[in-house]
Amino acid sequence: MEKNVEIICKALSAKKGVRIRVLNVRELTSIADNFILASTRNKKQSQAAADEVEEKLAQEGIHALRKEGYREGDWILLDFGDVIVHIFTDEERRRYDFDTLWQEAPAAEYHDTGESNEK
């Protein structure tokens, strides 16, 4: 797992992000190499997770090119160029169903032990 992807996943997990998946979309779209999906129970947790991701990457000198949905908190998108982070509340994740939409993408589940399992 790439260093920045690992940092993002750890940050999401630290703020109660669950069902963290890294989708390798490199061969499917030109907008990014990876999408990272995470779910939270509520808007406040989504905002806290987004804040943590931005803080941890800022420590590495990396800043989001674009941030959308933060104020609403149901679906927060953080665009870091080669990696786009999608933080959903559980309800929004079910509604948009990115897991099925991007099912052709090779995926890795992230677990807070720091390990991931390739699919």
Predicted confidence (pLDDT) per residue in 3-54, tens digit: 999 999 999 999 999 999 999 999 999 999 999 999 999 999 999 999 999 9
Say yes or no: domain 3-107 is CATH 3.30.460.10.
yes
Q: Is the dihedral of CA 70, 92, 40, 104 positive or negative?
A: negative
pLDDT digits (tens, 9 = 90+) for 66-83: 999 999 999 999 999 999
CA torsion, points 47, 49, 50, 51, in degrees to nearest 10? 90
* CA–CA separation, 111 and 22 (whole Å): 11
What's the pTM?
0.91
Distance CA 73, CA 56 (A): 19
